[in-house]
Amino acid sequence: MSTQGRLKSASPAAERFGELLVKVSALLFAVAIPTSVALDNGAAVLGLLGFLLLAFSGALSPLPPLRPLGFLLAAEVWHYLLNLGRIFKATDLKLYLLSYFVGFRCALDRDFLKKVGYLLGFSTALMVLSQLFEAVTWQNVKHVDFSHLQLHTALIRAKGLLNHPLTTGGVLFTLFFLHLALYRLFKNRLFSIFSALALLGVVLSQSRSYWVGTFVFFAVLFLVSLLKAKYRRFAVVSLVLFGLFAISLFSIPQLRHRFESIGNTTTNGSNTDRLAIWTAYLTAFKRDYTLPDLLLGTGDRAEEIALKEGYEACLKFYPRKVCEGNGYVRRLHNGLSHNIYLKFLSKYGLLGLLAYLYFWGYALFENFRAFWQREKIIYLVFAAGYLGFLAAGFFENNFTDAEVQTAVLFSLGINYALLRRRSD
């Protein structure tokens, strides 16, 4: 047999094996995203191998939208082309991009998507149970001391199986609206339970940024639903869900006090730290950035440059004795921006920030257009979820956290596949 003949005979086998690897990757992501059990890297590698085999067999298409992703990557690629040795250590976008393609591919098969959704839902339930355990026992679920195990009526911030409550909040907020979208797609009440559990997890994480994001989500869902007579009943349902969410925050003293602290810009250290950080960044933009810096960013020097203005910024919110020495560095969290827009603007410049906004603007436009033209509430759920995530980004920059980024890109991939399937 000729070489060409052997390649042709190998192509169907490569395609089948590639599809299998991508499906296994999707299942692994469904477990890893809520629980972070070190499966995400394995899922990404299997997905990459699967797509390489699909490319070899000529079956790579269809793919999710590449243009918004290309814009998002362009600014970072520019910086790290000049320093290739750091790209795999310092880049904000690593193998987690594979979840975008895997999510898209798995959602093209409606039956398989349902299976992935079930697995993702049960993993979400496991995550929230681990949070609930932490909240009432005050113990790290990964290192339980059974000799001191007891229940408490006061709730502490619960991170569950992840490494930080804020990361937990970002992941579970994303899964909250993804499960709600799957409920609208499959009309299966189990997905509504998964969505409710994820929302409970957002509450237990006590991540105020994602509480704000949740309020934005319900506000968008309610207001836009009112515009279509067909969905005014859904607007009432969203208002009831919003009420239950608000009651959960205000009925428990610890949660109520934490929510009320959102507007405290004088005595709440977390808030004043952020104000000092943002002041330092804005001052640095005015004083220390050249025109090329403003356009293309300062890369890995962004935090260092902001800290140059840190002492002066610290003095605007704290007594001198707090800021002296390395005090201002601690108050400014070593220059961490705590704002995704400031991060992109400082690190990747105005072009990088515009790319980030285009990335999300594209998703919002496609979903709002689909909602308006096809009259499918599922697309409004996705759009409201993205707007909530963007609102949370004003106070945090954990879109670039591995766990949150994987969850968001996986959900986006599923979303774009559903947009492509007009019959849904």
- In 3D space, the residue among 356, 405, 344 whose CA is nearest the CA of residue 97 turns out to be 405
d(CA 310, CA 306): 6
Q: Kindly report the number of other CB atoms within 10 A of residue 325's CB atom.
A: 10
pLDDT at 174: 98
Contact between residue 93 and residue 405 where contact means Cβ atoms under 8 Å apart? yes
State phi, psi for 38 to the nearest 5 degrees. Answer: 65, 20
Q: What is the pLDDT of residue 267?
A: 84
pLDDT score at 233: 84
Domain map (residue ranges) of the chain: 3-56, 67-263+339-420, 269-335
**Total-model pTM:** 0.92
Cα–Cα distance measured from residue 269 to residue 274, given in angstroms and rounded to the nearest whole number = 8
pLDDT beneath 70, residues of the chain: 1-10, 79-95, 422-424
- Cα–Cα distance for residue pair 9/125, rounded to 1 Å: 44
Find, among 224, 242, 225, the residue nearest to 234 by Cα: 225
Alpha carbon distance 45, 309 (integer Å): 42
Q: What is the DSSP string of 243-309?
A: HHHHHHHHSSHHHHHHHHGGG--SS-HHHHHHHHHHHHHHHHHHHT--HHHHHH--GGGHHHHHHHT
Give the per-residue pLDDT at 88. Answer: 46
Distances (CA, A) of 7 to 2, 48, 60, 319, 371: 9, 21, 16, 73, 44
